[in-house]
Structure 1
């Protein structure tokens, strides 16, 4: 785990929004609306196929076989081959003045793709990580088919869907106007399984939200609150939140009715400062042992400094931790969200309990 702290203040890297979602979820409709909004006029958009977005009537200037300039001012690049090559090509043309100096990028993934490899590509490659930063992963979920896909008989299909939603910094539910009840049940599922992730409804006839303004870690972004204290040490509510007020604690996340048994979320909150070095050791070991079974890690940590530290990661890819300028509505305490598949959350509770006692000593995690 990279424990070097950073801020986005003064960060000159180009922010990237990753737009993902399962087949038929409505990503193309959302992307088309984004292209029409003035806020994205100076963005570059990377897509898999020009025809699918319906940009034929918007093209002003074909810059190359793979890049066109739309009348909105947005650059559209068709990905042929590897994503890295497309990104490097766009950055090179931008630097040489072949294309306008776009200030942001949007990458649309394939409906059967997990976003993690895309995030890893931009993080692991020195050239890309020096010029690009992942600002946000937005997942579009279909209200009509979302619940069925989340419980699909085909393990691969279900796994892709859950990896897409677990990677989200924001979720946009589409087609809710066609089945309001299904949209409500899907929203409840997502809010229960993904605590702290904004879940929004797409309203036909209205533009899509300004995803650039959805600041991760803000007070209104849905950070979970712990329930009533129990046993003088732990609070556990119906969503599986656990609150720790000293080093002696236990917790058991609660499985909601009708939800997939393999995918569970655990929210830990600690009211005393966390040792940053010890936390880095614990998280690195956790990701090393469990790998892809840790779908999502995010948290706001009190490490004994005036302001909190924000961590955010998908599977084994952890973004550079950031300083926040203020504490969110939860107040001054550490909140850690883990979304896991096929792991007993009680084991994670025990592991974290050992970390609380460890004081930066390495720990043995059971595989």
Structure 2
């Protein structure tokens, strides 16, 4: 690891499985003044960016959508990182203190770190200061057991942040904490609730993680639900979908126009988060595409989702 005095720009990698709370955590850090002079890069595997809507406090923000930054989106990430480094070492001198990369929930931070180290330009201009990985206490044990990616994310971390522990089943958060300490004993572990630092639960019993079964890959799907008048039908459709296929739905997010304004809808597995009304003012990054829902999961296809939506959709 490079020393700070070497003059290279610091890069913080923020990772975690789908729905772990990365954008919520980053938004709180920006509100508290952390990363105030950082260039924030948000990567979304889906082609419709949503998470940047929560990060209006960023001084500089770039969005990489439509490809995971550790695989198909890696060339775009390398190109953007080179551009940021060039700008920061140009005639105007250093304008930022570092880069915060919020990865897609489908990204392996270790693969990104290896790619940066192998790039001759970035190896001279960047140093990875910390790899932060958020672990969702509601679903963490199941994800670590069933999803090889979730385990790879936890193993790659310098710091693990346990989220949603206050909402987990009694004892589950403590068992997850003990399991993480067994899985990555070198990592520093802390707790957070809605981005705010909280105390860790009492350690429980470490779980022996079963070998993950071979499953269909997790993919994003885009569903056009209409720019206006879709909220009642959408909430009914989503409730029915989660009841019938909740184990296959990993994440749902999107922006819908309602009588109250623009509504940000998000769910993780079968847990639908309280909808958030977005301000009508311009937000950081690309403007939201209203009336488009991104569903991330497995064992779906676009035609089936369209047929299902037409049964509930308005008109």
Residues 114-129 of structure 1 aligned to structure 2 (within 5 Å): 114-129=108-123
Q: Residues 26 and 93 from structure 1, CA distance in 2 versus in 1: closer, same or farther, beyond 3 angstroms?
A: same
The total of aligned residue pairs comes to 193
Q: Name the residue aligned to 2:102.
A: 108
Residues 317-359 of structure 1, C-alpha deviations (whole Å, 9 max, x = no match): xxxxxxxxxxxxxxxxxxxxxxxxxxxxxxxxxxxxxxxxxxx
Residues 264-285 of structure 1, C-alpha deviations (whole Å, 9 max, x = no match): xxxxxxxxxxxxxxxxxxxxxx
Q: Quick one: higher RCO (CA 8 Å, sep 6+), 1 or 2?
A: 2
Matched, 1:27 2:22: yes
TM-score, length of structure 1 as denominator length: 0.48
Residues 325-340 of structure 1 aligned to structure 2 (within 5 Å): none
The Cα shift of 1:34 comes to 2.2
Matched, 1:140 2:134: yes
Q: Is the 8 A contact 1:32 1:53 kept in 2?
A: no
Q: Residues 183 and 47 from structure 1, CA distance in 2 versus in 1: closer, same or farther, beyond 3 angstroms?
A: same
In 1, Cα distance between equivalents of 2:16 and 2:42: 13
Q: Is the 8 A contact 2:13 2:100 kept in 1?
A: yes
Matched, 1:79 2:27: no
After superposition, the CA RMSD in angstroms is 2.8
Pairing partner for 1:40 from 20, 28, 35: 35
TM-score, length of structure 2 as denominator length: 0.55
Residues 175-200 of structure 1, C-alpha deviations (whole Å, 9 max, x = no match): 11102522111101101222121111
Q: Residues 147 and 128 from structure 1, CA distance in 2 versus in 1: closer, same or farther, beyond 3 angstroms?
A: same
Q: Is the 8 A contact 1:19 1:137 kept in 2?
A: yes
In structure 2, the gaps of 5 or more residues are 66-72, 200-204, 213-315
Q: Is the 8 A contact 1:33 1:207 kept in 2?
A: no
In 2, Cα distance between equivalents of 1:164 and 1:205: 19
In 1, Cα distance between equivalents of 2:184 and 2:106: 21
Pairing partner for 2:184 from 194, 199, 207: 194
Matched, 1:164 2:153: yes
Q: Residues 101 and 177 from structure 1, CA distance in 2 versus in 1: closer, same or farther, beyond 3 angstroms?
A: same
In structure 1, the gaps of 5 or more residues are 1-5, 59-69, 153-157, 210-255, 264-367
Matched, 1:13 2:8: yes
In 1, Cα distance between equivalents of 2:163 and 2:209: 21
Q: Is the 8 A contact 1:34 1:208 kept in 2?
A: no
Q: Name the residue aligned to 2:50.
A: 51
The Cα shift of 1:145 comes to 0.4
In 2, Cα distance between equivalents of 1:55 and 1:76: 12
Displaced runs of 4+ in structure 1, greater than 4 A? Answer: 97-100
Larger radius of gyration: 1
Q: Name the residue aligned to 2:209.
A: 260
The Cα shift of 1:127 comes to 0.7
Q: Residues 204 and 39 from structure 1, CA distance in 2 versus in 1: closer, same or farther, beyond 3 angstroms?
A: closer
